[in-house]
Structure 1
Amino acid sequence: MSYGDFITIDQAVSVLGLTVEDIPHFFSHIAPLEPSQRLKETLDETLDLAANISTEKARSELIITPILLEIRRKFQSKIGYFSGNTFNVDESKGLTGACDFLLSASSNQSLVTAPVLTLVEAKDNALRIGLGQCIAQMVAAQIFNNSKGLKQISVYGAVSTGTNWKFILLENQKVKIDLTEYFITQLNQILGILAEPFRIYFDQ
C-alpha cells in the first residue's frame, strides 16, 4: 500500500484514525499575497499552453511549479521545494511513495528536512479524487515532523489542477477541509494560503 492507494477521503480517515470537518470559506480570512510581476508574466505565457496540452504533467510544470516557486522566493529561499520525491514514512500504514510537491521550512535542498509544512497533489481534472491521497501525505508529514521533535505543527495540503485549488488543514488527528474551491483568477488568495504556514512558522 502507498499514498496512491488512498482513493477516497473515507478511506484515509478510516485507515489513519482521523476525524474530518468540512468548513465553508475556512481559509478565506487569510491575508492575500500579491503576485510578483515575474509570476504574472510566467502565467500569462503558460496558462493557455497548459490548458491546451491538458495533461497532469503540463499543469504541474507550467502552472503549479511557478506558483510554488513564488512562495519560495517570498521567503528568500528559506523554503525547501521538492517535486516527485520519495517520502517513505510508515510502511505499516501505507505512508510510502512519491509526493507531487512538498514544501519544508528549511533551505536544505539535498534532502527533505523537518518541518514539512505543505503537500500539494496535482490532478488533471477532478479535485476530489486527490483528497484522500493528499490527506495521507499530510499525516506522513505530521509523523515525520513529530519524529524530529517538532510536535504540534499544523500541516497544510492542497489538491490542484493548476487552475483550481482546494485546501486542507491537519491539526492533531482532525482534518479540516475548506469546501470553497479557489480559482486561478483568485491567485492572490491562493498565494496567501500557501504562504500562511510559513508565515506562522517563521514568526514564532
Structure 2
Amino acid sequence: MAYSDFKTLNQVLTAFCLKLVNQFGLFSQVNAIAPSAKLSEQIAENFDLALAIDTEKARSELIVTPILLEVYRRFSPNLSLFSGVALSVDATQGLNGECDFILSASTNQLEVSTPVLTLVEAKNNDIKSGLGQCAAQLVGAQRFNESQQKTVPIYGAVTTGAAWRFMRLQSSQLEVDLTEYFVPPQIANVLGILCQPFLAEENPKP
C-alpha cells in the first residue's frame, strides 16, 4: 500500500483517527501575492497550450512547475523544492511512495528534511480523486517531521493546473477548503496560500 492507494478522505480519516473540518474559504484571510512579471508572462504563454495538449505532463511542466518555482525563488535559499521523490515513513501503514511535489522549509536541496507542503497532480482532471492521496501525504510529512522533533502545520494542494484545492493538517485535525481557486484569474490567491507555510516560518508566533 502507498499514498496513491488512499482514494478517499474517509480512508485517511479512519486509518489515522483524524478529525475532519471542511469549510468554504478556509484560506480566505490569507493575503494574495501578485505574480512576478516573469510568472505572468509564462502563464500567459503556456496556459492555453497546456490545456490544448491536455495531458498531466503538459499541465505539470507548463503551469504547475512555473508556479512552484515562483514560490521557490521568493524564499530561496530557505526553501527546497522536490519533484517525483519518495517520502517513505511507514510502509506498513501506507505512508510511503512517490510525491508529485514537496516543498520543504529547509536549505537542504539534496534530500527532503522538513516537508511542509505536498502537492498532488489530479488524475483525469478530477480534483476530488486526489484528495485522499494528498491527505495521506500530509500524515506522512507530519510523522516525518515528528521523527525529527519538528511540529509544524502541513499544507497540501491538489491541482489540475487550472483548478486548485487546499488542505492543512494540524495535530489530528484535517482542514479541507471547499473553495476551488482557478488559474490564471486567481493566481495571486494560489500563490498566497502556497507561500503561507514559509511566511509562518519567517514570522513565528512569539
Shorter-chain TM-score bucket reads: over 0.9
Cα pair 1:21 1:177 within 8 Å, conserved: yes
Q: How far off is 1:77 after superposition?
A: 3.2
| Counterpart in the other structure of 1:166 | 165
CA-atom RMSD in angstroms:
0.9
CA contact (8 A) 1:168 1:175 kept: yes
Q: 1:24 matched to which residue of 2?
A: 24
Opposite residue 155 of structure 2, the aligned amino acid is: Y
Q: How many residues align?
A: 202
Q: Secondary structure at the match of 1:85?
A: strand
Residue 66 of structure 2 corresponds to 66
67-76 or 187-196: bigger deviation: 67-76
User: Is residue 201 from structure 1 mapped to residue 206 from structure 2 by the alignment?
Assistant: no
Segments of structure 1 that go 5 or more residues without pairing to the other structure are none
Instruction: Identify the residue that residue 76 of structure 1 maps to in structure 2.
Output: 76
Q: 1:178 — aligned with what?
A: 177
State the Cα distance separating 1:107 from its structure 2 match.
2.0
TM-score, structure 2 normalization: 0.96
SS in 1 for 2:156: strand
How far did residue 65 of structure 1 move?
0.6
Q: Distance in 2 between matches of 1:30 and 1:106?
A: 22
Gaps of 5+ in 2: none
**Secondary structure of the residue that 1:177 maps to in structure 2?**
strand
Q: How does 1:12-161 map to 2 (within 5 A)?
A: 12-114=12-114, 116-123=115-122, 124-151=124-151, 153-161=152-160
- Runs (4 or more) in structure 1 with deviation over 3 Å come to none
SS at structure 1 position matched to 2:125:
coil
Where 1:77 maps in the other structure, the secondary structure is coil
**1:170 counterpart letter in structure 2:** L
Q: CA deviation at 1:78?
A: 1.8
Return the offset for 1:169.
Answer: 0.7
Aligned to 2:20, what secondary structure does the other structure show? strand
In structure 1, C-alpha distance between the alignment counterparts of 2:77 and 2:40, rounded to whole Å: 19
Name the CA distance, whole Å, in 2 between partners of 1:173 and 1:56.
32
- Looking at structure 1, the residues matched to 30 and 189 of structure 2 have their Cα atoms a distance apart, in angstroms, of 8
Contact 1:16–1:93 (Cα < 8 Å) also in 2: no
